[in-house]
Structure 1
Amino acid sequence: MKIITLLFAFFLAQRLQAQSSSPADTVEYARAKATTKDFAAADRLLISYNARHLDVNGLRLHAQVLYWNKAYERANEVHRRAITSFPDLAVLKLDYGRFLYELGKHRQAQAVLEGYLAHDSLQAEANLLVARICYQEGHLAAAENRAAFMLKHYPGNADATALLTELHQAQAPYLRLSSRYAAADQPLKALNDELESTWYRSWLLAPSLRVQFTHFNLPELARNSIWLQAGNTIRLNQSGLTLNLQGGVFRAQLGSGAWRPTGSVLLTQKVASYLYLDFNAEHRPYQRTLASVRSTTTVMQNVEGAAIRLNKSDRWLGKAVYECQTFADDNTVQTAYAWLLAPLLTTKLATLQGGYALSYATTKRSTYVPVKTLDEIVAANSPVAGYYAPYFSPKNQVVNSLLGSFKIKPPWKVTFSGQASVGVLAKADNPYLFLNKSASNELYVERGFLRTSYHPLDLQVVCQVKISPALSLAADYSYRKLFFFTAQQAGLQLSYHVASEQK
């Protein structure tokens, strides 16, 4: 009987202690759990607490804990419950608007924040969030007016000043002048000069202009081509859709020949926080082989493709692509490839990434042809030499590569970066030519294929110097050892951002 009495007294004491605990104690205990990132424990405490109490502090903390724990749908429900339960407490709309903004739900966030500003038109954070939404949706004038309004009432506000500066820079023209020298063992040497300018005005208008001049130094002659392009980019940020349109003209020989029309369409759809879909179609010149540059007729190609891209804060990067190239002779080259880069080292001064790539390419019909005529081949009585004319056409080419990428940012205004692709297993059907006889005993050149292993290598290094906030200079060098040629390139690029002065 004494034991039962003692147990009863113990449970009664525990019950009285629980009843004597104030609601604030539970909320603060849950806050302490959240501070140590024990979100599950904080969630359990607040579920129980908010089921028995109607406390604005408990609801606000619970919504924040659920956001930290990435339980966004539940956090949204708690935010809405808090606003419904305390309709006169305007700060809850600020909480909810901030939450929607951070999830990228800009239209909903703006509606909630505008409702909050109806009660307090000078609240700094709400105004800046609305300005940011206008900016990210491409409504630059509205964003600029909102930032200027903030500076009028809060002179010297650092966030409003930074946003206004960013807006002025975003609307300023961007100029890029580059020169690149390339030498391949085909043999093909070229000097490419390019001038490009872009000017972002709004979500609907972001025009660009590009002039590209290429001087080819061939063994027997020189060729100069020119390519003029103009385009515009439309960004429907609310739906995550971007449309880039380009049109232009190309002339294979600067002083003579016909101008050939060119054009491209690139449609990009954001499908998740880090995932994008690309669809592209392009009509463009082909000048990658010695034969294509020597050709008396301009070699053009149509390119259609689709891709899915991964970009998670520039740390996790990846891409999977299918592409089809079609030429005037109705031949096609189909390519599929995928690659992934993962972070290996991330610090303030340096980043290092590593990954893997796999690609496959093949053609409907090989363009590997003899260098000499049939009579010359018969007279020479030697192995038949060949080359790709007028374009490269890989046959059952499979490449497995290890990837590496680095970026070093010293304390001074210089950035070093580079990337490498090292083939670890690569095979292709290598074409060869030989003399054969037909049924009527006539000689002709036959084409055969031999499965061949090779070791592709692609290296690139870049050094960029920030001369001023608006001006930067970059120098780069690349080395490429591919299936049918080895090439080196070196280039200089000067970039200038014509930042307008603050008003």
Structure 2
Amino acid sequence: MKLIKLFSSLLILFSCSLFSQRNSDTLDQVKVLIKNKQYSQAEALLENYYPSHKEDLATNWMYAQVLHWNYKNKLSNDLFEKAIALAPKNTAIQLDYARMLYEIGEFKKAQTLINTLKTVEATQAEALLMEANIHFWSGHINEAQEIIQELKKLYPNTYITDEIVKNIDEATSPYLKTNFEYQSDNQPMKFVAEKIELGQYRSWLLSPKLEIANYNFTPTQQALTAKVSNQLYLASIGFSATIAAGAYKNFSGTTDWIGGIELSQKVNKHTSLKLGYNKRPYLGTLVSTTLNLTQNNLFGELDYTNNKLFSIHAGYNNQYFNDKNNIATISSWIISKPFSLSKLKVQLGYGYSYSNAKNNLFTAKESLNDAITSFSPNITIEGYYNPYFTPKEQMVNSVLLILNYKASNKVEFGAKGTYGFAAQCLNPYIYLDNDGAGNTILTTNYFKTNFNPYEVNAFMGYKLTSSIEAKFTYTNQQTFFYNRNNFNLGLNFKL
């Protein structure tokens, strides 16, 4: 990829000078700007120059390339096609156009040009290299390797295949990830967990993964999960499907199945849609660790990414349980693209979420008889969520901050913070009341509460060798429900 971009910037300068119909001072200035990678200034000059030179080959060609470098690919595409119409046999223009299409992911259209260019000696090597990369990014590993072998036969001493060979090796190597996790919260609940993930990317059709996790809760509860999954990816239409299935064993309860399906479709260059269903263990409350409790999730997500400005996410999740209760959540965020302060990269954003449970499961810690004995009417009785947390009209507006600092090729630091500056929910409380027929009952009511949830996540990554990486992560989170501290040590191995 780097070689292709380098060839592009050099050849556009050389080729345009050969095919220019006149020695234009403006075009000479543009060439200098291109050489110095001042593409915005080059575009400004060409924008004024082009109206009176619309039929000039060098002007169309150079303008098309500069527009591509400035991410204006629709107009760039039109001008490349016009330049080719002016010089149909000029393979240098066709090669630049193929590069442009390749770099923006228009592989099918690029392949049409490549089929011709790989038969011409002057453009053969780069055309074959692009074709090998297209097969690689499309998941057709065997086809990419066949073209690499063809290139090595045609050019025995070439180094242009080294980068793609390295990329294929890295992408298809089996990997092993291990995680050691400790968490404590103020319910109070503590656990120690060990997690293992083993996988390998083989092709667009086969990318299997095995995940095993073991949780040990204080004082004696234990839970175990095991899951296998596979991803299918059709790059030509931007579609992927992941299917997973496994088992969940709570040693205080029974065994249940877990798994799901996730479908992702690229709508256009900037937008993607994700839909799915999954069933997984719920282990967020003290009660949930003492029985087999699973949650079902139906979800949809829409993501928009503008490479120069920001990313937007919108999602909906319907979380439901075997007791017919459900929790509906909508969420969204917008975050800027990273901007650099020396080696530090910074992103800023805003997030919004709203959650509401059909039935609230806030339960009194006292039985009715004990409460009658110990409490007076209208005195609040202590409660807890049984067996899972149920938010009541919970709304959160938050600010987001992401920091990343790459100290060296081996050491990287990062942090992510969210702070709910405007958040509220209906807070449940329980008290003794009269049912109107002379009977004392436990009654739940709600009052509006403002709170300030936050989450701080910090990490340090260290590359011990080319095939072993370590990452330490610390998380402190405050929600309406609880506060938690989580410590995680991950080790990644390329096998």
Length-normalised TM-score, structure 1: 0.87
1:342-491 to structure 2, matched below 5 A, reads 342-343=336-337, 345-347=339-341, 349-381=343-375, 383-411=380-408, 413-491=410-488
Percent same amino acid at aligned positions?
26
Structure 2 CA distance, aligned partners of 1:46 and 1:426?
Answer: 54
Instruction: Indicate whether 1:281 and 2:277 are aligned.
Output: yes
How far 1:181 moved relative to its partner?
0.6
1:144-155 to structure 2, matched below 5 A, reads 144-155=145-156
Q: Using a 3 Å threshold, how does the CA distance of structure 1 residues 85 and 343 change in structure 2: closer, same or farther?
A: closer
Per-residue CA deviation, residues 249-275 of structure 1 (Å, 9 max, x unaligned), is 11111xx75321111211122223333
Report the residue type matching 2:414 in the other structure. S
Structure 1 CA distance, aligned partners of 2:391 and 2:50?
Answer: 63
Report the residue type matching 2:111 in the other structure. Q
How far 1:460 moved relative to its partner?
1.1
Structure 2 CA distance, aligned partners of 1:452 and 1:229?
Answer: 40
1:272 to 250, 268, 271: 268
1:10-409 to structure 2, matched below 5 A, reads 23-26=21-24, 29-33=26-30, 35=33, 37-51=41-55, 56-68=57-69, 70-120=71-121, 123-155=124-156, 157-218=158-219, 222-253=220-251, 257-295=253-291, 298-312=292-306, 316-343=310-337, 345-347=339-341, 349-381=343-375, 383-409=380-406
Per-residue CA deviation, residues 420-446 of structure 1 (Å, 9 max, x unaligned), is 111212111000000111222111100
Computed over aligned residues only, the root mean square deviation of the Cα atoms, in angstroms, reads 2.3
Q: Using a 3 Å threshold, how does the CA distance of structure 1 residues 80 and 327 change in structure 2: closer, same or farther?
A: same
Report the residue type matching 1:48 in the other structure. S
Structure 1 CA distance, aligned partners of 2:113 and 2:417?
Answer: 48
Q: Using a 3 Å threshold, how does the CA distance of structure 1 residues 177 and 69 change in structure 2: closer, same or farther?
A: closer
Per-residue CA deviation, residues 390-445 of structure 1 (Å, 9 max, x unaligned), is 11000011112221111111135111111111121211100000011122211110
Report the residue type matching 1:271 in the other structure. V
Per-residue CA deviation, residues 371-406 of structure 1 (Å, 9 max, x unaligned), is 121111112226411110111000011112221111
Report the residue type matching 2:146 in the other structure. N
Higher-Rg structure is 1
Structure 2 CA distance, aligned partners of 1:140 and 1:466?
Answer: 27
Q: Using a 3 Å threshold, how does the CA distance of structure 1 residues 121 and 110 change in structure 2: closer, same or farther?
A: farther
Report the residue type matching 1:159 in the other structure. I
How far 1:489 moved relative to its partner?
0.7
Q: Using a 3 Å threshold, how does the CA distance of structure 1 residues 259 and 459 change in structure 2: closer, same or farther?
A: same
How far 1:334 moved relative to its partner?
0.9
Count of aligned pairs: 466
Three-state SS of the structure 2 residue aligned to 1:167 is helix
Q: Is the 8 A contact 1:31 1:61 kept in 2?
A: no
Three-state SS of the structure 1 residue aligned to 2:195 is strand
Report the residue type matching 2:387 in the other structure. P
Structure 2 CA distance, aligned partners of 1:140 and 1:47?
Answer: 46
Q: Using a 3 Å threshold, how does the CA distance of structure 1 residues 66 and 488 change in structure 2: closer, same or farther?
A: closer
Q: Using a 3 Å threshold, how does the CA distance of structure 1 residues 76 and 456 change in structure 2: closer, same or farther?
A: closer
Q: Is the 8 A contact 1:91 1:116 kept in 2?
A: no
Three-state SS of the structure 2 residue aligned to 1:123 is helix
Length-normalised TM-score, structure 2: 0.88
Report the residue type matching 2:228 in the other structure. A
How far 1:201 moved relative to its partner?
0.5
Q: Using a 3 Å threshold, how does the CA distance of structure 1 residues 321 and 409 change in structure 2: closer, same or farther?
A: same
Q: Using a 3 Å threshold, how does the CA distance of structure 1 residues 491 and 314 change in structure 2: closer, same or farther?
A: farther
How far 1:311 moved relative to its partner?
4.1
Gap regions ≥5 residues in structure 1: 1-21, 499-503
Report the residue type matching 2:282 in the other structure. Y
Q: Is the 8 A contact 1:148 1:160 kept in 2?
A: no
How far 1:44 moved relative to its partner?
4.4
Q: Using a 3 Å threshold, how does the CA distance of structure 1 residues 102 and 322 change in structure 2: closer, same or farther?
A: same
Per-residue CA deviation, residues 6-58 of structure 1 (Å, 9 max, x unaligned), is xxxxxxxxxxxxxxxx93224x523524736242441443343243xxx5434
Partner of 1:497: 494
Q: Using a 3 Å threshold, how does the CA distance of structure 1 residues 81 and 404 change in structure 2: closer, same or farther?
A: closer
Structure 2 CA distance, aligned partners of 1:348 and 1:145?
Answer: 42
Bigger mean CA deviation after superposition, 453-462 or 66-75 = 66-75
Report the residue type matching 2:22 in the other structure. A
Report the residue type matching 1:390 in the other structure. P
Q: Is the 8 A contact 2:26 2:45 kept in 1?
A: no
Three-state SS of the structure 1 residue aligned to 2:465 is coil
